[in-house]
Amino acid sequence: MNYKTLAVSALLVSSLISGAAAYAASPAVKEMAGILSHLNHYPSDSEKHSLNGIIDDAESNHAERTIAKAMKSMRHHVSASDRERLEGIAKDPGVDVDTRRLAAILASVNHHPGGKEADTLRQLMK
């Protein structure tokens, strides 16, 4: 194998690996999907503690913090103002697709996620 072929192969493999990582849900999204997947009316005290960790984490982006705050304060459903913010995240093409999906699901939850939403949450947790 000559040098050019080896260099092109290495570049291709590198781009595939970094591309796959770019599309994986963040740890914060995975954690919130897990909380939401078994939510029953509102998060437990331990789940609120986890959500506070996401809110305070410098690695969490603005959208993740907004979702965590809305989830932490929900009672049966999110408030109207939180729903508005979540819907904005869900429609923002600058936000990654997994975060948009999570925001859309949380905006529509009433007491607990339905069947289709539960399937999506399971995928986000992977």
Predicted structure pTM score: 0.79
Range 102-121 average pLDDT: 90
Range 6-21 average pLDDT: 40
The residue that leads in pLDDT, 60 or 22, is 60
Percentage helix, strand, coil for the chain under 3-state DSSP, each rounded to 5:
70, 5, 25
What pLDDT shows up at residue 87?
98
Residue pair 125/89 in contact (Cβ under 8 Å)? The answer is no
> For the packed helices 27-37 and 45-56, what is the interaxial angle rounded to 10 degrees?
160
**Rounded to an integer, what is the distance from CA 17 to the centroid of its chain?**
21
What pLDDT shows up at residue 23?
55
> For the packed helices 27-37 and 115-124, what is the interaxial angle rounded to 10 degrees?
150
